[in-house]
Amino acid sequence: MLVLAVGVFAVPASDAGAAERDGACDSGEVCFYYNSNQQGAVSDFSSSVGSYGESQPKCYEFKGSGKGAGECMKNQAASVANRSDKPVTVYYNSNYQGASQTIPAGESANLSAELKNQNASHLIGDTGSSGGSPAPVSEQWASPVPSDARITAGYPRYSGGGYHPGIDTVGFRTAKSACTGTVKSVDIHPKYADDNAHGVKGSSNFLRIDCGGGVEMGYAHFYARDLPKDIKPGVQVQAGQDLFPIGNQGNSSGTHLHFEVKVDDKYVHPFNFLRSKGVTGLPG
Ligand SMILES: [Zn+2]
């Protein structure tokens, strides 16, 4: 009589419930492990991350109950399971720079001696090049916030009627670059760099990204201490790349992101602009 081994393996739960950052390596995700051979606590992702953060509570961490749980994952991962349908490339530096190792779709690997405990970013999808060159542009536009972010102030007016040239959102942790472009400026207020100053006009920190073609995007209210050091003028950023954890800095009445878009130096509705570029999943 034939005994088939196939049936003894547990069938994973349906993909429908797959959620990133829940400590379970679901189908479609890329998962980093604290130990080799996919052992220890896990950090699971469904998108690329250009900067993991340096320390708690502002870092991406290992989840679950295994060894390393709760620790920041930057420079602490030893192995990877790629359960997505695209290759994932792990980089030595933030923002997809430096030495790298690519793990094909559907495969698992221990990180090389060079990358083990020296991982700083990962890019899901084809990098289109080999070696240490920066990842080329794959997508030009992305949403700066998750689809379940909540809008607390719209464009072009606050509910009270005052002029508001952007959109304010809450209910998430990390703001992402909405375009592939170049950091144009980082304005840190000299007095309120890391402090709230509600009611003080002009007190908010501002990051501006030049998207090319006359398009510029502005981000406000992050704490200076939270902005990764490699987000500075002249640096290229990718659409969808993490920029900073949102904050309550400057002229702000609660932790949120203020996001604005200018086309040829004129404010436009930020989310409608992105929708016109084919971006989906924007809140509101
Ligand atoms: Zn605002």
Q: What is the pLDDT of residue 18?
A: 65
Distance (Å) from CA 180 to ligand 1 centroid: 22
CA nearest to 271, candidates 263, 283, 262: 283
Distance (Å) from CA 260 to ligand 1 centroid: 8
User: What phi and psi, each to the nearest 5 degrees, are found at residue 276?
Assistant: -65, -20
What are the start-end ranges of the E strands in the chain? 30-35, 39-45, 79-82, 88-93, 97-103, 108-110, 121-124, 150-153, 167-170, 174-176, 181-187, 206-212, 215-220, 236-237, 242-245, 257-263, 266-268
What domains, with CATH codes, occur in the chain?
20-124 (2.60.20.10), 150-276 (2.70.70.10)
C-alpha 175/C-alpha 65 separation (Å) is: 28
C-alpha 74/C-alpha 162 separation (Å) is: 42
Distance (Å) from CA 219 to ligand 1 centroid: 9
Distance (Å) from CA 139 to ligand 1 centroid: 26
What count of Cα atoms within 13 Å lies in the side-chain half-sphere of residue 108?
13
Distance (Å) from CA 163 to ligand 1 centroid: 10
Would you state the structure tokens that stand for residue 208, as one six-digit string?
Answer: 């501006």
- pLDDT tens for the chain, 284 residues long, are 554 444 444 444 444 456 878 889 999 999 999 999 999 999 998 888 888 888 877 778 999 889 999 999 999 999 999 999 999 999 998 877 788 889 999 999 999 898 999 999 888 886 544 444 443 434 899 999 999 999 999 999 999 999 999 999 999 999 999 999 999 999 999 999 999 999 999 999 999 999 999 999 999 999 999 999 999 999 999 999 999 999 999 999 999 999 999 999 999 999 999 999 999 999 98
Write out the residues surrounding ion ligand 1, Cβ under 5 A.
166, 168, 258
Distance (Å) from CA 257 to ligand 1 centroid: 7
Q: What is the pLDDT of residue 19?
A: 80
